[in-house]
Amino acid sequence: MSGKHQDTGRNDSNAGSNQMWGGRFAQGPSAIMREINASIPFDKALWRQDIAASKAHVAMLGAQGIVSANDAATISEGLDHVAEEYARDGVPEDWDLEDIHMTTEARLAELIGPVAGRLHTARSRNDQVATDFRLWVRDAIDQADAGLKALQLALVARAEEHAASIMPGFTHLQTAQPVTLGHHLMAYYEMIARDRSRLADARMRMNQCPLGSAALAGTGFPIDRNATAQALGFDGPTANSLDAVSDRDFALDYLMAASQVSLHLSRLAEEFIIWASQPFGFVRLPDSLSTGSSIMPQKKNPDAAELVRGHAGRVIGCATSLMITMKGLPLAYSKDMQDDKPPVFEAAGLLALSIAAMTGMVAESEFRTERMRQAAELGYATATDLADWLVREADIPFREAHHITGAAVKRAEADGVALDQLPLEVLQAIDSRIDERVYQALSIDASVASRASYGGTAPDQVKAQVARAKSRLDKE
């Protein structure tokens, strides 16, 4: 969107010139310029926001007496008609009209005649697109937040179902300590809660209205910027016209938040990919989110999860793209900023798909809890509990207890049994200070139950986490 000159609504032109550019240009743009300059193939996605902003603007012009009440009403009705056409037939792509703003104004002129030219009084395409784009990003934030809430609800429901289901907890993808599946799922609930807070912060910062900043310096017309801001649901108008037309921080804030969401979704997707593999066998993925192989009939591939994992890289790439576009631009508007929308539109589409896919995967997957428990039992996950017992009950320094426990694990491995299946005489041969009370600490159930500190994996703690989460979600 070029918009370097504040239009007055006149449509006079010399023969052969682009009427929207006015009489300044003797000839229309070359074929190359026409193609490189046109943004209508992608910015047509802004049509709803463009219509809404134009209606707010013309209502203000009418209220301020800048245009007559009759003209304001005619323009508003015409915009409603254009919106109906777009909703029914889509937005036409006439590259000579460059963008959604000129496309809408041209169609409005066809419908209502020269009075359409009054719509652009006291505004520029610079503040117009800045407003439309903010409105679009604000909608994208609201949609992402709603999707993430649905994912949280799915996580909480499955966590409540599996508050006491035991699985191995991992560090370095090696069995570390037993945890509950509910606790594991609630970890992602917390990640998504932070993601939603980042989106909310981005929305709060961006919720100021650029409309009325005109090309870069404001306008000499007696406009009411508070009225247009209020009509469009903004908290108020932007404070500096130069900043307002050249700011894309709001889009970057959204892309940064979207990138973090994608990282968390990618981690969750990776968990399901690993858990669904035959060596793990912790989960059966829903058929609706899996595919088969063209050659191997036994295969059930976690393609949806793998694509979520892949989409994260693309979303992060979108953020990087816009950062690089904006990094060296002087005030105010430059045509480079026409390239601000494709990465945001792409990221929003990928994010929506990823959120929906992982919500379905969490809600519909079948967790194989017996296999999870077996893996926890075979992985010597209660080794830390043995060391802690030696410290607590035998008053042994932790480093010494760590060494004794290592010897016990080595013996259990050699015998092919779990720690709690080692006979007492074998344990006492390793260290005589061990007595029969140790078995109260060595079972995976006892281990999990003992982790009852706030935020821990004990089933009672998981149920408390779930209750707090449900309460927070219910209050929204």
Catalytic residues: 172, 293
| DSSP H or E run through 366 | strand 366-367
Distances (CA, A) of 450 to 161, 163, 282, 352: 20, 14, 24, 40
What H or E segment, with its residue span, contains residue 111?
helix 100-112
What residue type is assigned to position 7 of the chain?
D
Q: Which of 181, 364, 175 is nearest to 284 (CA)?
A: 364
Q: Are 156 and 470 in contact (CB under 8 A)?
A: yes
Q: CA neighbours within 13 Å on the CB side: how many for 173?
A: 6
How far is it, in rounded angstroms, from Cα 355 to Cα 359?
6
- How big is the chain, counted in residues? 476
DSSP, res 284: E
| Strand positions, DSSP E, 48-197 | 166-171, 174-180
Residue with tokens 């240009």: 25
What are the Cα distances from residue 250, in Å, to 44, 151, 344, 386? 20, 25, 11, 52
- List of residues 6+ apart from 158 with CB closer than 8 A: 181, 182, 185, 362, 363, 367
Interatomic CA distance for residues 318 and 98, integer angstroms? 23
CA distances to 82, 108, 119, 279 from 78, rounded to whole Å, are 6, 6, 11, 64
Helix (H) or strand (E) holding 367: strand 366-367
Report the distance separating Cα 301 and Cα 292, nearest Å: 6
What is the DSSP secondary-structure string of 216-253?
TT--SS---HHHHHHHTT-SSB-S-HHHHHH--HHHHH
Please report where in the chains the tokens 């959204």 appear, as a residue: 254
